[in-house]
């Protein structure tokens, strides 16, 4: 479950990436081209990681952030092969690679 349990933290350094993340259409094009995604699998794909970025960077309650990070690692980070075909296919040109790097940094390395 990905949701905020406290007030959103506003950091000017992440304002633009959060805006870009919110622009995601959730169209699923990234899932169609991803060599690691399967409808019957547990890998959630770039659409989940791009949208998780906002929550990972706004949640301030450490216990909840740890839960979100653990789910992110399990459903995205551990299954991504880093082909970045998701970045190339995005119909609105989201900076998918940057958002994935930022999500990984927040969830995996706590930065």
pLDDT in tens, 84-102: 999 999 999 999 999 999 9
Classify 3 in phi/psi space as left (phi over 0), alpha (psi -120 to 50) or beta. Answer: beta
Q: What is the pLDDT of residues 19-55, one digit of tens each?
A: 899 999 999 999 999 999 999 999 999 999 998 888 8
Q: What share of the chain is helix, strand, coil (3-state, %, to 5)?
A: 55, 0, 45
Number of C-beta neighbours around residue 61 at 10 A: 13
Query: Structure pTM?
Result: 0.80
């Amino acid at each position: 479950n990905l949701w905020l349990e406290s007030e959103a933290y506003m950091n000017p350094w992440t304002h633009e990436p959060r805006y870009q993340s919110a622009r995601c259409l959730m169209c699923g094009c990234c899932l169609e081209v991803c060599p690691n995604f399967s409808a019957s699998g547990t890998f959630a794909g770039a659409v989940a990681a791009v949208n998780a970025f906002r929550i990972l960077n706004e949640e301030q309650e450490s216990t909840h952030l740890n839960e979100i990070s653990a789910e992110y690692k399990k459903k995205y980070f551990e299954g991504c092969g880093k082909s970045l075909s998701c970045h190339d296919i995005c119909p609105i040109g989201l900076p998918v690679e940057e958002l994935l790097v930022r999500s990984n940094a927040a969830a995996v390395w706590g930065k």
